[in-house]
Structure 1
Amino acid sequence: MDRLCCFNGSEIGGHQSSCTSGKGRSNQGQITFGYSLVKGKADHPMEDYHVAKFVNMEEHELGLFAIFDGHLGDAVPAYLQKNLFHNILNEEEFWVDPGRSIPKAYEKTDKEILSQKSDIARGGSTAVTAILINGRRLWIANLGDSRAVLSNGGQALQMTVDHEPNTDRETIEGKGGFVSKMPGDVPRVNGQLAVSRAFGDKSLKSHLRSDPYVQDKTIDLSTDLLILASDGLWKVLSNEEAVNIARKIKDPQKAAKQLATEALKRDSKDDISCIVVRFR
């Protein structure tokens, strides 16, 4: 995901490695995951961050997975990596009503970013998050164009909405902004940002939204796997293509690597970040 703008200066937080991968499993070992992050061809440091882990909390096992795709530096995705799940899980209503508490935590986190005394908020980030509760209940949320796709019996089910400027054009224009498209380019908010919802982006925030799209799903025996990825993957692979590639590879880390490799073969220029969660 990109934004047409340049600036000079430093960002808080360390840069991700240009190529990172790993794997893990639930405590019971029945659910496995793997991830792969590859720096794109653009002339800037890696701006994608991720979370992929299982934790125990209040006698529940939680799988926490996320891709944060930054623009104008890595400060905002680095902040999200450290704070977003903490804010979600500390919402009083989380265990009673995740569908209400997740949006509240997203909005709270965005306000924290915008209120920083440093210039962290001049940059921004999309986000796609997944919380798996006890291996049975899956909660997905997203801002921007990073995407979550579930394989249900081999059928690709998109669990997120791509927040492109045309999607929220009425809201953007109602707030005094505009959506423009140069020849050969994509629609952009005020001629700059290629998504209509994001964390940060202080200069555009009056025209952007930070409330996420949220969807939940019960995991059953027909659920094969979950793919979370930045738009560096989805620009060149369809949901069905990604699912077909991942389902053929038992090791989720190898599956994530193969998805990233395929995106590179198809000449994706953006950073490519992918998490594959295999349920059975």
Structure 2
Amino acid sequence: MTLLVFGRTGQVARELQIQAEVLALGRDKADLSDPEACEKTIRDTRPRAVINAAAYTAVDRAEDEEDLATIVNGDSPGAMARACADLGIPFLHVSTDYVFDGSGTAPWRESDPVSPQNAYGRSKLAGERAVRAAGGHYAILRTSWVFSAHGANFVKTMLRLAESRDALNIVDDQTGGPTPADAIAAALLDMTGQMLAGTPGGTCHFAGAPAVSWAGFAREIFAQAGRAVTVTGIPSAEYPTPAVRPLNSRLDCAKIRTDFGITQPNWKTGLTRVLQQLESGA
């Protein structure tokens, strides 16, 4: 039987294909703007488990396309979860720290109240609720600040800017856990195996440690990459974006350790791996 993955070119989907034999579906095979088609794909394929690693991730554009974002991030995961519930197979879904309001400084726990502050966060919360409502054997994995050698992400943006800039102003009042996509993929595959063996699912947090600001993340990128770029920390108010970003994106990852024996990855070690991959062209 097949392990079915929604998503093919995204960061986590790419890593899932590297780490395991999966059937990964891109937009040509699984259009997440069509929930019924996603559900039909699962019923026709009859896989042993499903991982949804696809999403509408254009955070700022979602402010103008919230209806579409809600279909892709909300309705389609719900349809997938219902199909999996009917087939009696595990369904794993990737979510985000953006379901929280970003207040305070304490790491967010799975049981904390949710209150997304932008359209993207609201669409992802709609997906979480739809997955839970399906009533099957599910797991929701909330993560944050994903990076890898693939696709568009903060690490690759910083390296590109370093080619032409020797000083950058980077937001320093947003704090979270950068998370290597390969670690997320490994966690999802580990969880899938355990759920197939009967382990209960639920909602878990998984993010890199230690917590750091975007400015601090940038400094480590340049230090490891050997780039002489001076980073000046600035408040979010000096870098306005259409979508409000949470100031506190710290995630408490104790539950996934208790439930699945999975520990937080060290993002600095993950960064070293990514830089080596980029250097080698892998």
TM-score, L = length of structure 1: 0.31
The answer to which structure has the higher helix fraction is 2
The answer to which structure, 1 or 2, has the higher relative contact order (CA under 8 A, 6+ apart) is 1
The answer to which structure has the higher strand fraction is 1
